[in-house]
Amino acid sequence: MAKQPNLYAFGDVDHLAKSLRKYLLQCQSTGVERHNAFKVAVSGGSLPTTLAKALLAPSDENGFVDFSKWEIFFADERAVPLDHEDSNYKLLKDELLDKIPADLGKPVVHPIDVKYMDDVQGMADQYQDAIMKSFAAKDSVKIPIFDLLLLGCGPDGHTCSLFPGHELLRESDAWVAPIEDSPKPPAKRITLTLPVVTHGAKIAFVATGDGKRDILRQILDTEEGRSLPCGLVNEGGAERVSWFTDTGAVEGASWEIMSDDPQFEIN
């Protein structure tokens, strides 16, 4: 039988954040062993708030967050100024980056280049170049392998700025693509493409709350859910994918759910 994503459900977001922290620390160690850096891509939505809960907690037996090794990219970003309310960079900055204590080090963060505000193709190309430089990718490197992609799941099953039925789901060359007709405003954005997402060494979805129940049931339990963007990531990433959810979000799903305090096996 094909290997499946891991599904973890926690009683509440605080318990989720505790286990997410453990998972993040294991991914951090693997990344540092792999290339002396932890290369991660993050989404917007509610994720940065949960991330902050996980990462700004005091050091524990699972180790400490060494932000000086972190290199943070955006899994998707809106084509707006960096101080705009819709900016995923601003969201991450307000929720997490500005709150990192000095002794945890400073991550390298890659915001979009705002000089391409009116040219989202140019913005996507520039962002792809930044990724290429970071991965020391010579032309021969076919695809960047992020140590971890941290994703959300929209009520329609979208993830990053990859929307159901959109032609961008078929993009197979570009690592970063522009979108000018996002059904969720703002319309103009850039996003990592599906092949980059599914090639991640680890891929984590964080989806909580009763509002996620219907879409999660669809993604995890139905045939049509498998063709939604989140379903395609599940299919491509298989056992490298982990879902961090709460009981409200997964009630009624028929998948095997691992309970509180899972023992992650990160290789």
Contact residues toward ligand 6PG (CB under 6 A) are 43-47, 76, 88, 152-154, 158-160, 184
Q: ∠ at Cα 153 (224, 151), nearest 5°?
A: 125
Which lies closer to ligand 6PG via its Cβ, residue 69 or residue 200?
Answer: 200
Which lies closer to ligand 6PG via its Cβ, residue 107 or residue 229?
Answer: 229
Residue 96 CA to residue 206 CA, distance in Å, equals 16
Which lies closer to ligand 6PG via its Cβ, residue 84 or residue 106?
Answer: 84
**Least separation, in Å, of the C-beta of 36 and ligand 6PG?**
28
Which lies closer to ligand 6PG via its Cβ, residue 65 or residue 91?
Answer: 91
Q: ∠ at Cα 192 (189, 195), nearest 5°?
A: 145
Which lies closer to ligand 6PG via its Cβ, residue 69 or residue 127?
Answer: 127
**Least separation, in Å, of the C-beta of 43 and ligand 6PG?**
3
Residue in this structure with the two tokens 């000095």, named with its chain if needed: 102
32 to 24, 39, 196: CA distances (angstroms)? 12, 9, 20
User: Are the beta carbons of 202 and 148 closer than 8 angstroms?
Assistant: yes
List of E strands, the chain: 6-10, 38-42, 70-74, 76-78, 108-109, 148-151, 176-179, 189-192, 203-207, 241-246
**Least separation, in Å, of the C-beta of 122 and ligand 6PG?**
20
Which lies closer to ligand 6PG via its Cβ, residue 86 or residue 119?
Answer: 86
What would the two tokens of residue 209 be? 């709350």
Strands laid side by side in the 189-192 sheet: 76-78, 189-192, 176-179
**Least separation, in Å, of the C-beta of 192 and ligand 6PG?**
10
Which lies closer to ligand 6PG via its Cβ, residue 5 or residue 44?
Answer: 44
All residues at 6 or more sequence positions from 29 whose CB lies less than 8 Å from its CB, including other chains: 63, 266
Residue type, 259: S
Residue type, 157: G
**Least separation, in Å, of the C-beta of 213 and ligand 6PG?**
12
**Least separation, in Å, of the C-beta of 1 and ligand 6PG?**
30
DSSP 226: G
**Least separation, in Å, of the C-beta of 206 and ligand 6PG?**
7
